[in-house]
Structure formats: structure tokens, C-alpha cells
């Protein structure tokens, strides 16, 4: 699979509600935060890794990019049970499918299932 340019992808992640209605508000916030973690091009492995790191950061309330606690906007995702973080991880293939492509989302789903 070829790397995907992320300008449009980041925009879709930040505005996921428009592209993927009827999700939990936490999923939209997760996608918004994830948009800031991906580079200019993206492979499925990179998206899964970025997602995993973000979830770990949220669980410990320290942004590994800054080594500071998350900002007030991101507090929605801090201090939850493992079930919420599992839900966020499970939402990744659907987010990838909507924001990038079905083929990309399918690979992300396979990678998530193999973890």
C-alpha cells in the first residue's frame, strides 16, 4: 500500500462528526487529537501506532509529545476505565475507512485484530 497524503485526512479526522454521524463524543475527540499526531503521509501501521501511543498518553494524562498534561479541551478522554480506551481503539478502523478508504480501513482492522 502506498503512503496516503494527510492534509484531507487530518481535516476529516478533525470534523469526523460530519463524515461519521451518531458516534460517541469521545470518538470525535479521539479523532481530533489523533489528527495532530499524524505526519504528512500515512501508512496503516503508522495510524495504528499513533493511535496506540495516544491511548497510552490519555490513560496516564501525559502528552508524550510535550511531556505535559493534556489541555483542558482534551480532558473528556482522561481518567476513564479501560473499556473506553478499548472502544476508542476499536473505532479506529471505521475512522480510517471514512477518512481515507475502505482498503486502508481494512488493513487497519487487520492490524488492530492482530494486537
Read off the C-alpha cell for 11: 481535516
pLDDT for 36 equals 93
Q: Is residue 107 within 8 Å of 1, Cβ to Cβ?
A: yes
Angstrom distance (rounded) from CA 67 to CA 36: 15
pLDDT tens for 53-96 read 999 999 999 889 888 888 877 788 998 899 999 999 999 999 99
pLDDT interval class at 24 (50, 70, 90):
very high
What per-residue string of b and e applies to 14-33 under the rule 16 or more CB within 10 Å gives b? bebeeebeebeebbbbbbbb
pLDDT tens for 25-47 read 999 999 999 999 999 999 999 99
What is the CB neighbour count within 10 angstroms for residue 89?
Answer: 17
Q: Is residue 9 within 8 Å of 42, Cβ to Cβ?
A: yes
The residues spanned by each domain of the chain are 4-113
pLDDT for 1 equals 86
Answer whether residue 111 shows pLDDT above 80. yes
pLDDT for 74 equals 74
Amino acid at each position: 500500500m502506498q503512503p496516503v497524503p494527510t492534509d484531507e485526512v487530518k481535516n476529516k479526522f478533525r470534523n469526523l462528526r460530519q463524515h461519521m454521524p451518531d458516534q460517541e463524543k469521545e470518538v470525535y475527540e479521539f479523532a481530533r487529537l489523533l489528527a495532530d499526531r499524524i505526519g504528512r503521509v500515512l501508512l496503516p501501521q503508522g495510524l495504528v501506532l499513533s493511535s496506540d501511543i495516544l491511548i497510552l498518553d490519555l490513560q496516564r494524562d501525559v502528552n508524550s509529545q510535550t511531556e505535559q498534561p493534556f489541555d483542558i479541551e482534551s480532558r473528556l478522554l482522561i481518567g476513564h476505565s479501560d473499556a473506553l480506551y478499548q472502544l476508542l481503539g476499536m473505532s479506529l478502523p471505521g475512522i480510517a475507512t471514512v477518512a481515507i478508504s475502505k482498503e486502508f480501513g481494512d488493513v487497519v482492522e487487520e492490524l488492530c485484530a492482530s494486537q
